[in-house]
A and B are shown apart, each in its own frame.
Chain A
Amino acid sequence: MREKWPGITLISILLAGWEVLVRSGMIDTPSLPPVSLIFIAWYQAVISGELIGHLLPSLQRIAIGYSLAIAVAVPLGLLMGSIKLVYSLFEPLTELIRPIPSAAYVPMAILFFGIGNEMKVFVIFLACIWPILLNTYGAVRGIDPVLVETGRTFGYSHAKVLRKVVFPSILPEIFTGMRVSLGIALIVVVVAEMIAGNNGIGYFILDRQRFFRVAAMIAGIFTLGIVGYALNWVFLRFEGYVLRWRQTSGS
């Protein structure tokens, strides 16, 4: 906790400076209300349940799209990494689709799924697949052959070695991909909700901007910062628990 204090102090100074600059009239624009008004709007949005009402659908979309991406990318990555044919089959396709920014799918996804949940879940799913898939098959292809041969010498089949040796040994790389994807999921859900729909934190921000409720709009942006931070914190806790064997060197 001690090493956090300098950072917390800087944030407080920036917020105080913002308040002073706006209140004193040095920055005079309706686009930037003082921080105190933002916090009041934030408080009201939380109390009324309005903010939670928009946040929950967003989190739900992330949860479903992200889980689906993991469920597809990890097994496919394991197969691509260990079977040459599967690799040469999917690798060119992967390289072609991967560089397309996920937001570009939204208009097409609307045609297929409408503007509801399915469209957003689909776009999150598509965007989250690539980092996990790339990390998984990259790690499998780069695995130390001693590990695989150790599994083989115990008489285990290739499939069993994949499950008992390859998968646990590349979990750190899978988690790296999952962490990247979690950040992408948050970006993509906001973009998708801004383009189409009538709820979600992205919709909340865009809607407040349209009706010029600037303080509430910025409160929505702050909320995203906190949600992103919290998601990452939970993720790191989970990763640290699953990969606890990595933190035990040199007792």
Chain B
Amino acid sequence: MPGSQPYQVTSCFDESTQNSLKSTLIEVRGVSKSFRIQQASFCVFEGLNLAIEEGSFVSIVGPSGCGKSTLLKVIAGLQRPTSGSVFFKGEPVTKPPANMIYLFQQYPKSVFPWRTVWQNVLFGIEDKKDLDRGEIQERGRKYLALVGLQGNETLYPSQLSGGMQQRLAIARALACEPEVVLMDEPFSAVDALTRMKLQQLLLEIWDRVNITVIFVTHDVEEAALLSRRVIALTRTPAIIDKDLRIDLPYPRNHLTTREDPRFGSYRRELLQSIFQAESM
């Protein structure tokens, strides 16, 4: 592996207006991924470099099929890169790290249908040796309340709406109090109104809980609304086309943030990137 001085304090883009330099939590270094389809080798992305700081909210956008989700799975340790490495807190990722949770797009398959809401939310923490019974229960209550699912503990996922199932998946991830949450188009399968409510919820959670979020979406407005930084990928073999800092004030919400003229220009710039990639 070329260059093994992974854990360093860097500023991946200009952070001068922020209060201080934050340390790099995740570093993607020279990561390539290709699949073999019959005899041919198909390259998804090649030589990607990316540094993500602690506490940030980074979205990855790009044309469909550009390998956004694959990149996220590689970061999560669910797939191995063909070459290059991902470093999490300076350690190379070889298997899914415990304090990095991946949230799937297909939440109806991801929440466990044989577990009640309460049993689902405890999934990641019920065997933790460093937590006693009371603490585990306390966490369950806290994060169910955070996503507004308190009072539904005894229901099974099949009795919940799509939006509630996704909130349950979020609560289950947060109950582990992870450092990083990786979200793969988490709101793409719910109706428009539910999606707006979930986006608002995510903004509030990120504001209240100290976590780093990497968010994959094809929706540039969603990316601009939620993120502090948006990375636009090109078509395959994907490289980074744009690395945008979203300088919109907090607290953000659907009404005021979308009316900000800067929101419009971010949206325009990101859409241009995607349209250009798709027309190539």
Contact = CB atoms under 8 A, between A and B. Distances in A.
A248 interface: yes
A59 B78 CA distance: 49
A86 B112 CA distance: 27
Nearest to B97: A155
Interface residues of B, number: 27
A168 B111 CA distance: 13
Interface SS of A by simple majority? helix
Mostly helix, strand, loop or mixed at chain B's interface? loop
B226 to A, nearest CB: 21
Interface in A199-251: 243, 245-246, 248-251
Contacts of A147: 109-110, 112
A152 B109 contact: no
A149 B156 CA distance: 21
Contact of B104 (A146, A169, A171, A248): A146
Given A149-B102, A149-B104, A154 B124 contact: yes
A249 B99 CA distance: 33
Nearest to B125: A154
A248 B158 contact: yes
A150 interface: yes
Contacts of A250: 158-159
B158 to A, nearest CB: 4
A144 interface: yes
Interface in B93-136: 95-102, 104, 106, 109-110, 112-116, 123-124, 127
B158 A165 contact: no
A168 B156 CA distance: 14
B114 A154 contact: no
A150 B114 contact: no
Given A168-B112, A171-B114, A153 B159 contact: no
Interface string B80-97: 000000000000000111
Contact of B78 (A152, A246, A248): A152
Contacts of A150: 102, 104, 110, 112
B104 A154 contact: no
Contacts of B115: 168, 245
Contacts of B159: 248-251
Contacts of B124: 154-155
Interface of B: 76, 78, 95-102, 104, 106, 109-110, 112-116, 123-124, 127, 155-156, 158-159, 176
24 contacts: A144-B109, A146-B104, A146-B106, A147-B109, A147-B112, A149-B104, A150-B104, A150-B110, A152-B78, A153-B96, A153-B100, A154-B96, A154-B176, A155-B96, A155-B98, A155-B124, A164-B123, A165-B112, A168-B114, A169-B114, A246-B113, A248-B156, A249-B159, A250-B159
Given A168-B112, A246-B158, 10 more contacts: A150-B102, A150-B104, A153-B76, A154-B96, A160-B127, A164-B123, A169-B114, A245-B115, A248-B156, A251-B159
Interface of A: 144, 146-147, 149-150, 152-155, 160, 164-165, 168-169, 171, 243, 245-246, 248-251
